[in-house]
Amino acid sequence: MNRGKNTEGFIPLWANISTKEQAKAVRDNLMDENKFNTCMHKHKKEIYMKLKDKVQSLPQTPGVYFMKDKDKNIIYVGKSKALKNRVSQYFLPSYNPSKKITRMIKFIDDIETIETDTELDALVLECKLIKKLQPMYNTLLKNDKKYAYLKISTNEDYPCLECVPDNDCDGLYFGPYTSIQKLENIVEVLSKYFKLRTCKGSNKLKCCINSDLGFCMAPCKIKNNKEYSYSINKLIDTLNGVNLDLINDLNKKIIESVNTLDFERASKYKENLDCIELILSRSEVINYMKSKKVIITSIDIDYTRKKVYIIKGKDIMYSKVVKKDFNDKSLKEHFYKYFEENSHIEKNKNCIEKEDLDMASTIYNYLKSKSKLDFI
């Protein structure tokens, strides 16, 4: 139908909306969003003009920065390997952060910084300060996170997998982990994949629906301890990152679903895959802490200096800035002497504390990402 120049009531295809009222609401929302973006650009410019001299004078060195409001409250703590570049980015018109950071920018009244020798120092300091100061717009490293464990009830003939809040030492535990909601989803995915029981008792009169659907071996009726134990061992290897069959199967199912245009199913498989990989990445950190390895490494500061570290789990036990030509043999002799004199200081605990995980994760992920680190 040709509407000619009369576009009243015309609903654009991009709207994908069935009524004129809904289409108008979309247009109004877009106009409001454009107005908001214009106001934000103006507001960012005003803040930048006020803080221009301070931002321009920031060093291009690693460090931590504090965003403060008009009452001098620290509302955000961040880190960077180049302070001037990172802080300036907040005030660029092209900068498009999350809604949380967009709100935070509106309240910036002052900025302060602390310089560090290396990016690793900045990461560690940021982690400590966020836990201590609890800034309003920092969420990931706050102390108020809830933790949970994955528990395999190995004290039972036919163990099940559970999400539990504490380690009571009455089974095989993995964790602690954050993201409890995802953890519960992982329990469901793993239990179905390895066909483990999810019921609480073994004296049931008939098999449950999971058995009918092929998601459970039904040990309540079919006693096959050998096959069930094999599945439990595969589950343990999966949680330890040794067995990647589940990861490979999920990747394969995602590709198959996309090829058949079943995007809803592909999305579900992708969600499950992300959850499993999240747990495995956290397991890497936990295994790193349990290994109790002492890492001696150095990080370049500039053309003439480097900083050497002794790292064990979540702790930087020792660090010192030395000249670049300070040879590794001298470093090793120096560190061996340090260990002899301070062997009583660091005693690793068998139990991993929940509060230690964020710092351990910060250090581990940095070491893992830097392939050019010089390990001595």
Mean pLDDT of the chain: 80
| Burial class for 234, CB neighbours closer than 10 Å (0-12, 13-18, 19+) | middle
120 vs 355, higher pLDDT: 120
Q: Which amino acid is at 213?
A: L
State how far the Cα of 100 lies from the Cα of 212, in Å rounded to an integer.
46
Q: Which long-range contacts (CB under 8 A, 24 or more apart) does 318-324 make?
A: 319/121, 321/117, 324/300
- Predicted pLDDT at 267: 92
Q: Is the pLDDT of residue 112 over 50?
A: yes
In sequence order, what E strands does 131-171 have?
148-152, 161-164
Ranges 76-85, 132-141, 304-313: which has the least confidence: 132-141
Burial string for 265-292 (b: 16+ CB within 10 Å, else e) reads ebeebbebbebbebbbebbbbbebbeee
Q: What is the DSSP letter of 32?
A: H
Name the band, by pLDDT with cuts 50, 70 and 90, for residue 184: confident
In sequence order, what E strands does the chain have?
63-68, 74-80, 110-115, 148-152, 161-164, 172-177, 294-300, 305-312, 315-323, 374-375
Closest-CA residue to 195 (of 176, 173, 220, 170): 220
Asked if residues 131 and 358 have their Cβ atoms less than 8 Å apart, the reply is: yes
Beta-carbon contacts of residue 78 (< 8 Å; ≥ 6 apart): 64, 65, 67, 86, 126
State how far the Cα of 247 lies from the Cα of 216, in Å rounded to an integer.
20
Note if the bond before 176 is cis, omega within 30 degrees: yes
pTM over 0.85: no
Is the CA virtual torsion 179, 180, 183, 184 positive or negative? negative
Q: Which amino acid is at 336?
A: Y
Name the band, by pLDDT with cuts 50, 70 and 90, for residue 42: low
**Domain limits, CATH 3.40.1440.10, in the chain:** 20-133
- Predicted pLDDT at 12: 46
Measure Cα distances from 223 to 195, 229, 234 in Å: 14, 11, 19
- Predicted pLDDT at 162: 92
Percent of the chain with pLDDT over 70: 71
Per-residue pLDDT averaged across 233-238, rounded? 92
Name the band, by pLDDT with cuts 50, 70 and 90, for residue 11: very low
Per-residue pLDDT averaged across 238-256, rounded? 92
- Predicted pLDDT at 14: 43
H-only helix segments in 134-244: 180-193, 209-212, 225-239
Strand partners, 144: none
Q: Is the pLDDT of residue 352 over 80?
A: no
The CATH topology of domain 20-133 is GIY-YIG endonuclease (3.40.1440)
75 vs 199, higher pLDDT: 75
Strand partners, 151: 162, 173
Beta-carbon contacts of residue 118 (< 8 Å; ≥ 6 apart): 62, 299, 301, 307
Cβ count within 10 A of residue 48: 16
- Predicted pLDDT at 19: 53
232 vs 52, higher pLDDT: 232
43 vs 179, higher pLDDT: 179
Closest-CA residue to 121 (of 328, 374, 320, 355): 320
- Predicted pLDDT at 206: 57
Is the CA virtual torsion 183, 184, 185, 187 positive or negative? positive
Per-residue pLDDT averaged across 252-260, rounded? 94
